[in-house]
Structure formats: C-alpha cells, structure tokens
Structure 1
Amino acid sequence: MNAVNKVLIVGGGIGGLCATIALRRKGIEVDLVELKAEWTVYGVGIIQQSNVVREMAKLGVLDGYLDAAFAFEDVTINTTAGQQLARIPGQRLAGPEYPANVGISRLALHQVLSETAIALGASVRLGLSVETLTEEGEGVDVLFTDGSRGRYDLVVGADGLFSKVRGLLFGDKYQPRFTGQSVWRYNFPRAAEIDHLANFQGPAGNAGLVPLADDLMYMFVTSHEPGNPWMDTASLAAEMRQRLSGFSGLIGELREQITDSSQVVYKPLEVVFVSEPWYRGRVLLIGDAAHATTPHLGQGAGMAIEDAVVLGEELTAGGSVEQQLERFMARRYERCKFISDSSVLAGDKEIAHDHSFDRIGLVKQMLARTAEPV
C-alpha cells in the first residue's frame, strides 16, 4: 500500500494541474484548490521544448492539444536585423512520432489540463486556499480559507511565485527578488517564416518570435527596468515599441503594429529559489513556489511539469513519505538550480551589455542538460 493515498494540491496553474494529472493516473486521490474564483490564465503563450514535450507525452496530455498548438523543430539565434547566427536543431525526445518543440497559447493549454484533471476524477474547488497546515501523526490537517477542513497524507504547494504554502513552511526567509529586467509580450498573426522559435539579440535586451498556432505567434522582448518602475497601462504599447527601437528586419516591421496597450502583457521578472529541501514533513513545494526563474531559457514552466511527473513516480515507488520526498529532491534540485542560475545569468549579462557572453553556448548546454533523463 502506498504511504500517500490522498493529496491536496494548492494552486491550479500549470504545475498544479500537471501534478494533479500525474497523481490521478497513479490512482492517488487528489483535491485541488485554486485561489482565483475564475480560472483565468495570465500571459499569451508558452514554449515547450524537447524535454517538456517528452514529459507531457508521459502525462498522456500531449495528443490532447497538439492540434491547437504549433509543432516545430529548431531554434535560431539572430542579430537585431534578422541575420542568422546559429540554428540549433531540436531533439524528438518524446519519440519520432512527436515534434521536438511545441508552441501553444496558455489558454489552449489550460483548457486541456483542467479538463483532463477533472475527467480523471480530481476534486477542484476555486476561490479557495489554505489558512493553516498542522501535521499530526501520519497526516496534515488543513484549515481552508472558507473555514472548511480536510486531512491529507501530503500537501503540495504549487501556488507560484508568491506562494502562501512557502510562507507557512519557511516564513519570510524566501522572498521574490526583482532581477532588474522585465518582459513584454504581444500577439500577432503568424508570419510564414516563423515556423520555429526565433531569438534576436538586441543592444539592451533580447526579442523573440514564437509560433503558437497556424495563424498565431507572439513577440517577446526583455528590457532593463531599474527600480522596477510602475507602468501606466494606457502607455504600454508605446513603451514596448520604444524597447524595440534597436531592432530592424521583421521585428522592426512588427514593432509599428504594436498599437493596442490592452493587448500588451508586461511582467517584471522576479525570481526565488529555495536553497534547502523543498519540503518539511508532509508538505512539499513544486514549480515556481520552489524555483521561480526568468524566461531567458524558456524552461520555467517546464521545470514545474517535470516536478509533477517525478512526484507521481516517486509517490508510488515504495518507501516512507520521507524517503519518497528525499528521492524527489535528489532528482530535481540540481537540475532546477542549473536552469534557475543559468536563466538569471543570461539576464544579468544582458543588463551588463556583456558582448563576450556566449549565449549560444549556454542554450546548447541547456538543451543537452535537459535532454538527459529527469
């Protein structure tokens, strides 16, 4: 008999939903609570690189959204004018029948993940979080924010950068840190030549174009924003155009089409990394709650998805809860730390205008590292 048979997952984002799916497929009872009363999705799109495609296939959800996504093989790194500096081939880690990489809108992905979690029998409650966690005996007694209670073999905090569960475990020891950069995103009809992830190295930040569907792509650009200034939402389009002033070629052409401030998704980049085991007793952190990083390597959500798959495997591989969580940490800590540190390093080098920094080499190193078994 498993040491863990009933789990509470706090947070209904990508990590929480994937963990729910992973555990339900292993026969573990799951309750999921999400603070938002309406399950809205932040952002425009998401890049799923080869290692993430592999894990989504393991979860049995990849086929459910490929038709709504854009499959691609390679990644290019280009100058501001669009001259290609490197083309890095993808690896079909999920098998020859699946693409190396996938771009998909966050809304389309959320729909498949949430529907799958519910179809697998998870109990989902919205507008709810945890108030207190009390470990007694072989379980955790949970008081929810609506006054209701529950008892679980394990509680998983998948509640993001500003994790309530992390605060309950570690107090204020781990607080999000602004990196000095922000990212801007905007959707466009897909240009025919954007059939892959195209990165453009800029003078003060990097831009990119990501295909999401046959008729959709999004642009991103990072920028140095000292002091994390407040942005007037009415001026976001003009501000984003200004951040792209050093680019020509396709990026320059698209820049002038950024006119609707309501469609600009602006996000200051904040990071946190829990530099000790991500659990205490029978409460565990996964995803951004434990290791939120920047998007410079496109692996933030990917690490949360890997967390989910590994958790499902370890909770059903025998041993005590302590042994299961120790094995989970042994498989996850160094891998996530490499991604976190490398992503932050890339941003720091952008801020410093360090032209000697080998970004292409770092991307290749990341792809080789993440291609390894999880």
Structure 2
Amino acid sequence: MTKVRKVLVAGGGVGGLCAAIALTSRGVEVDLVEKRPDFNVPGVGLGQPACALRVYREFGILDEILDTGFSYNHMSIFDPQRTLIAEHRFLMGGNGLPAFCALSRSSLHSTLYRRALSLGVEFRFSTEVAEFVGPLGTAVRFNDGSEADYDVVAGFDGIRSTVRQFIVGDMFGPRPSGIGAWRIQVDRPSCVTGMEFLQGIDGKAGAIPIAQDKMYLFNIRPETPGEIFPREKLHVLLKERLAQFGSYVAEIADSLTPESPIVYGALEPFIVPYPWHKGHVVMGGDAAHIVPPHLTAGAAMAAEDGYVLAKLLLSGDGSVDDRLTAYGKVRFARNAFVYTFAREWLSMEQSVHSPADLAAAKDEYARNADGRIAVADRILDAFEC
C-alpha cells in the first residue's frame, strides 16, 4: 500500500479544516492554503446535527462546541402567524450527544482553526493553487509563484472551486435556482427553543437558536438569478419580504435599520457524481456538493467528507487511486440523499403561491411532516466515526 505522507488541503472552511485535523491526527504532514487574507469568516449560523458532533468528538472539541452553541432536539412548522401546524422530535443523538447543536459560523470555524494549529497544520493565507502539474496533478504551482510536491491534493475550496475545475472542468457545478436566502443574527426570544419554519406564500421564514441569547432569522424565497442588492437597501427589502409574517418575525422586521447585519445569498445547489478525483487530486465539501439548507446539513456533510477522506486514504487497502475512488463512492451516496431530500423540500415549500396552496400545504404538513423528517433523521444519524 502506497503510504501518504504529505497532503495539501486547499480551502480553510469547515470541510478543509476537518480534513486537515483528521489527516494530521493520523501523522500526515498537512499544508493548508486559503485564498482569503485571514479567517474573518462571513456567514451567520450553522446547525450541526449529531453526525457532525461525532466528528467533533473525535477531534476533542465537542465540549467547546456544546458550551458555545445552543442544543435542541425538536423542530416546529407554523403558518405565517406562527400557529402550529406540525412538530417533530429528532431521532438523532444519544450517548451524550444532542440531536443538534447550532452555533455561529465564526465560533465553529475558530474552534476548528485552533485545533488544527495545535496539531501542527501549516497555514498559508492569500494563497491558492494556480496550476496542477505532473501525471497525478500533485506537483502544484501557487499564485505567488512558489511550487511544492504532495502525495495528495484535497480541494475543499468552496463553490467556485479551482480543484473541481481541474477534476471535471465545467461539466458539473453551481446553477442558479431562482431562490435566495436572507439571514440575520438577532436576539433570541424565549419562545424559540428549536429549529422552526413559518410557511408562507411564495416563501418561508424561520429561525434557529445559535446561543443562549442569539438566533438567526432566515427568509427563503424566489429571487431573480444574479440579482445584486445594494447594501444600503437590504433592510428595506427584507422588511418587504417579511411583511406576511407575524409574531416575533414581524417585530424583527420592524426593528431593521441600515446597520442591521443582513446577509443575502442565492441558492445554487449541485452535486458532482463520483469519482471525486483525478490523479491524486480529490475534492469534498462545497467543491463537490451544495445543498439547500433545509436539513441544516451542508457543513455537517463537509465535516464528514474531511473525516472520511482521511480515514479511507490512510487505512484503506489498495492503491491511492483505489482509496480515492472508495471515498468518492461512499460520500457521493450519502450526499446524494441529503441533496435529493433537501431539493424536494425546497420544491414543496416554494410551490405555495396562493391561499389555497397554503391551506393544502398545511394539511400535507400536518399529515406527513413528522414521518418524513424521521426518515431523514434515521439516515443522517447512521454515520459513525
């Protein structure tokens, strides 16, 4: 079996950091390059299901994450005025793990970064791969002109991935969905104790608590692909989009100002079929798959990708190519479920265009939401480290 001694990880998000930690923990020398000048991480919050928490327990950082975030075991679906339609208790966790722990993106990233540093991962900022050289693609040239050789290059370099471009070109990648996601971190009202959705007409609102005193509010709705909203108008636009919702959503909408930390992003879901490698260059995380946020499992899948890549690469049988093929096969199958389930949920909620549609959706949720989400629970929770 060919021994893997030195790996380049491209991209310092959740998946890249998890790959770096998992590899370094197993004795591999890891360089991590990040194109940004620092880790001033954008974004709002991330729900972390029990499958991801198992990875963090392996890394020795679970307690810090649980202490920082907000743990919960249920989700609720409401109408626009927050009248309850359906409630679900998650079938995940146990053995010291909650079903979910949500926390701010910056908090999760900082915890992973500190752990990677403590293990000896070498970081280079403002750096990205400019060229993959040699028959395996692992003799790389960086954008600063420097060069280095590796046994494997692992690309966790996000939705606009350079590594994915090397592996599959533009054959697979992000495509506009016509749906946008608005998010803002706000103070958590006492009534929000778990994940919740408010199904509306032409979109939904909802909230996820990410600390004892904070949550993030979101609004997922149709938007023109490619639309760029002026920063100074975001608060006005979000107020307009939240106008149909009552309860705390209306109160938050009323409080928005030009200084409110509103984040908007278009949903561009995709998944690359396996194999996820070419030569000894492999991809994972957002480079290989972007899913709608309906299972709050995007970051969790990236964390799993990084962990499984290290495990199979270093303990699997056969050649490096065999092990990378096994990784892609295993991870594509799991991510394909998350992608398909989340896309279907997105389609269902965004098909509500009238009061009659809303009445029909409420009836369907009351009958089926609990059982449908339970299916996802059992599959998500099947991951073991």
What TM-score does the superposition give when structure 1 sets the normalisation length?
A: 0.94
Residue 194 (structure 1) shift: 1.5
SS of residue in 2 equivalent to 1:30: strand
Structure-to-structure mapping, 1:272-311, within 5 angstroms: 272-311=270-309
Alpha-carbon distance between aligned partners in 2 of 1:56 and 1:216, rounded to the nearest angstrom? 22
Identity across aligned pairs (percent)? Answer: 34
Residue 259 (structure 1) shift: 2.1
Alpha-carbon distance between aligned partners in 2 of 1:339 and 1:98, rounded to the nearest angstrom? 21
**Which amino acid in the other structure matches residue 278 of structure 1?**
W
Task: Please name the residue that 1:9 is paired with.
Answer: 9
Residue 227 (structure 1) shift: 3.6
Contact 2:78 2:85 in 1 (8 A): yes
Residue 92 (structure 1) shift: 4.9
Deviations 1:149-200 (A, max 9, x none): 1111100010010001111222222231111100001111111121211222
Deviations 1:11-50 (A, max 9, x none): 0011101111111111111100000012221111111122
SS of residue in 1 equivalent to 2:139: strand
**Which amino acid in the other structure matches residue 174 of structure 2?**
P
**Structure 1 residues 92 and 227: alpha-carbon distance in aligned structure 2, compared to 1, 3 A threshold:** closer
SS of residue in 2 equivalent to 1:365: helix
**Which amino acid in the other structure matches residue 246 of structure 2?**
S
How many residues are matched?
A: 372
Deviations 1:240-266 (A, max 9, x none): 111111111222222212223551001
Task: Please name the residue that 2:264 is paired with.
Answer: 266
Q: Which of the residues 159, 162, 168 maps onto 1:161?
A: 159
**Which amino acid in the other structure matches residue 148 of structure 1?**
S
Alpha-carbon distance between aligned partners in 1 of 2:343 and 2:153, rounded to the nearest angstrom? 29
What TM-score does the superposition give when structure 2 sets the normalisation length?
A: 0.91
Contact 1:50 1:91 in 2 (8 A): no
Contact 1:236 1:261 in 2 (8 A): no
Residue 228 (structure 1) shift: 3.6
SS of residue in 2 equivalent to 1:267: strand
Residue 272 (structure 1) shift: 2.5
Q: Does 1:182 align with 2:180?
A: yes
Task: Please name the residue that 1:336 is paired with.
Answer: 335
Contact 1:134 1:141 in 2 (8 A): yes
Task: Please name the residue that 2:383 is paired with.
Answer: 373
Structure 2 residue runs of 5 or longer lacking an equivalent are: none
Contact 1:269 1:294 in 2 (8 A): yes
SS of residue in 1 equivalent to 2:138: strand
Structure-to-structure mapping, 1:1-374, within 5 angstroms: 3-93=3-93, 95-136=94-135, 140-319=138-317, 320-353=319-352, 355-356=360-361, 360=369, 361-373=371-383
**Which amino acid in the other structure matches residue 369 of structure 1?**
I
**Structure 1 residues 318 and 278: alpha-carbon distance in aligned structure 2, compared to 1, 3 A threshold:** closer
Contact 1:274 1:291 in 2 (8 A): yes
CA RMSD of aligned residues (A): 1.9
The runs of at least 4 consecutive aligned structure 1 residues that moved more than 3 Å come to: 354-359
Structure 1 residue runs of 5 or longer lacking an equivalent are: none
**Structure 1 residues 91 and 363: alpha-carbon distance in aligned structure 2, compared to 1, 3 A threshold:** closer
Contact 2:92 2:378 in 1 (8 A): no
Residue 214 (structure 1) shift: 1.2
Alpha-carbon distance between aligned partners in 2 of 1:288 and 1:272, rounded to the nearest angstrom? 9
Is the deviation greater in 126-135 or in 191-200?
191-200
Contact 2:73 2:194 in 1 (8 A): yes
**Which amino acid in the other structure matches residue 329 of structure 1?**
G
Contact 2:92 2:381 in 1 (8 A): no
**Which amino acid in the other structure matches residue 187 of structure 2?**
P
Contact 1:235 1:261 in 2 (8 A): no
**Structure 1 residues 86 and 55: alpha-carbon distance in aligned structure 2, compared to 1, 3 A threshold:** farther
**Which amino acid in the other structure matches residue 19 of structure 2?**
A
SS of residue in 2 equivalent to 1:315: helix
